[in-house]
Structure 1
Amino acid sequence: MVRKLILSALIALSFIVVSGCGENKSAQENQSNEESENVVRIGFQKGNTLNILKESGFLEKKLESEGYKVEWREFVHGGTLLEGLFTGHIDFGHAADGSGISAQAGNKPFVYVGADLPNPEGVGVLVHENAGINSIEQLKGKKIGVLKGGNHHYLAILAIEDAGLTIDDVEWVYLEDAAQQRTAFETKKIDALATYDPFFAGVEVDLETINLTEGKDYGYPNRTFYYANEEFYNEHPELVALILEATDESDQWANENKDEVVKLVSNMLGIEENIIERAVNRREYAVDQMEEDIIKAQQKQADVYYEIGLIPNKIDIKDRVPNE
């Protein structure tokens, strides 16, 4: 009888211990889940404006008061960053205009939440000074190196058409990255290089070139955009507003401290300060809301991409712009 009572007591005790461990584990898991839910994940690329925000600390201060922490995740280019956005690996990010157009054409879930100021001087079409080419018209039959669908590719298309040529009058050479572009241009495997800052500035500083699009107005603002995961935006529009507010504050600091920005970006990219200085000094930093004129310019670019076969179907940019 005593033995039975002792056995029953041990069983009861072990049940209490196991139950207690389960409760503690459950409490720890709940706390862990709660902590993960209070993290905002920001995607960035080296050299873009979110690098300045990352270093400034403005965002951390703003979100801390709301009970949120910030996690920064780096991406090689805009396409992979937006992929991270679709798959839920990040909540917010910054990428070029063409990346958003391609993503929407692929029916990916995201929303436009803001844009940088125009930077038309940050892209150009270059030729070697001794190439005997002094105008866009003279590119007929020549090879132009681009990254397919990039902002500089779009500028080159506009310039070609403005000169009375068609896109079939030149040979497009699609390269993989800015380094491959530079090599192809230096070794003269291509006749002209369409490129973008800071790599554009690097070619201008290091080589003797002519910018065939300099001083020309093709109606292209060359903006980059701020994108959010669609679900994150729908659930936390106030957090998106705070991120944009912090970004604009960081941008205003950048405008007033361009020497510091040059050092920051130079160290980050491993590019000489005089090159970064050229790129930084020909632009202004700020966040714009998604106004009608911005949407209209992005729509025009999307229509051109469809017409020349860069995207498979027509899209309406407004489908990805939240109604305020």
Structure 2
Amino acid sequence: MRKKRNISQFLIFILAIAFMLAGCGSADNSKKAPSEETKGKTDKIIRVGYQKGNTINILKESGILEKKLEKDGYKVEWKEFSHGYGLLEGLFAGNIDFGHAADGPGIFAQASDKPLVYAGADLPNPEGVGVLVHKESGIKSIKELKGKKIGALKGGNHHYLAILALKDAGLSVDDVEWVFFKEAAEARAAFETKRIDALASYDPFLAAAEIDLNTINLTEGKDYGYPNRTFYYANVDFNKEHPELVDLILEAIDESDKWANENKPEVVKLLSKMIGIDEKIIDKAINRRKYGVDRINEEIIAAQQKQADIYYEIGLIPKKVDVSKDMPIK
């Protein structure tokens, strides 16, 4: 009897510890990732993901979004990511509600059946990507890159531009040797030391290479039918439960973008300080673009579908995707 009583007491003790730990775990998890039931309602927190140097930085510094949300009792939590793929992973996991990333990550996500919503897009920025060669290389056209090494970040907007430029010149992706890097700085170093013949890049890294090095931009002034838009993405549940907040965020971005267009010298100082890149580089990058928000439309869908189709054709994604299923027109 005494032995049974001891076992019973032991079991009660274990159960008590288990309940206590479960309670602690729940409290901890609620701080990290609020449930769908309470997120944005009880806590009234909207979590926005951004990368250093993109347009959401301007919104973050302006305070416009906070002011718009204040009357309804919402607060904004800003979360920084080093690249677009990481930002979208945060979106899929429910760690953020809204964020900003390039076109390529969206296509890769759709090809992997990851849940997202294209909420809107930046205005086109075709001059923000390019393919550079050293002036002393003697290469003066895309056609002359046949058999040469081109550096890029695989699947990036600049990679896509280079693919379009090769096609336009009558070359295929197999007519060149691709050298893929994980970081823009790594690609720049390889180009500077001439381990690659050409560099496909994007602003502000493109502008930096153009200013610092003696280069020719082989795609400058050419129209390849590529708008080079960056997209605003929303978490599926957040978009479904709070479409009015998604609209409000886009309105706030457009408002801060209009301010940016009228105050580019201030934007240069802001982004230069934030990214740690020389002001003249930032100045070159932002003065060849116009800020603003476009809502999803047929033209945007068609351009993104073309990019997705080409990515499938050359084996960058494992299957065909219908981009329109995650690009609602309002």
After TM superposition, the score normalised by the length of structure 1 is: 0.89
Instruction: Structure 2: give runs of 5+ residues left out of the alignment.
Output: 1-26
Aligned residue identity for 2:50: F
Spell out the pairing of 1:1-324 with structure 2 (5 A cutoff): 37-322=43-328, 324=330
The CA distance in 1 between the partners of 2:324 and 2:229, in whole Å, is 17
- The one-character-per-residue Cα deviations of 1:95-129 (angstroms, maximum 9, x if unpaired) are 00001000010100110010000000000000000
Secondary structure of 2:137's counterpart equals coil
How far apart are the structure 2 equivalents of 1:37 and 1:43? Answer: 18
Distance in 1, Cα, partners of 2:329 & 2:292:
22
The aligned length equals 295
Query: How far apart, CA to CA, are the structure 1 residues paired with 2:71 and 2:108?
Result: 36
Return the offset for 1:321.
1.7
CA–CA distance in structure 1, aligned partners of residues 221 and 327 of structure 2:
32
Looking at structure 2, the residues matched to 172 and 181 of structure 1 have their Cα atoms a distance apart, in angstroms, of: 12
- Tell me the TM-score normalised to structure 2 length: 0.88
Q: 1:130 to 1:323 in 2, by over 3 A?
A: closer
The offset of 1:323, in angstroms, is: 5.1
- Give the fraction of aligned pairs with identical amino acids, expressed as a percent: 71
Structure 1 residue 36 displacement after superposition: 5.7
Please state how far the C-alpha of 1:263 moved relative to its aligned partner.
0.3
SS of equivalent residue, structure 1 residue 219: coil
Tell me the SS of whatever aligns to 2:127. helix
List 4+ stretches of structure 1 deviating above 4 A. Answer: 32-36
Partner secondary structure for residue 37 of structure 1: coil
Cα root mean square deviation, aligned: 1.4
Question: Structure 1: which 5+ runs fail to align?
Answer: 1-25
- Distance in 2, matches of 1:167 and 1:110, equals 30
Query: Aligned partners of 1:55, 1:268: CA distance in 2, in Å?
Result: 10
Partner AA of 1:163 in structure 2:
A
* C-alpha contact 2:296 2:329 (8 A) present in aligned 1: no
Report the CA distance between 1:322 and its aligned residue. 2.7
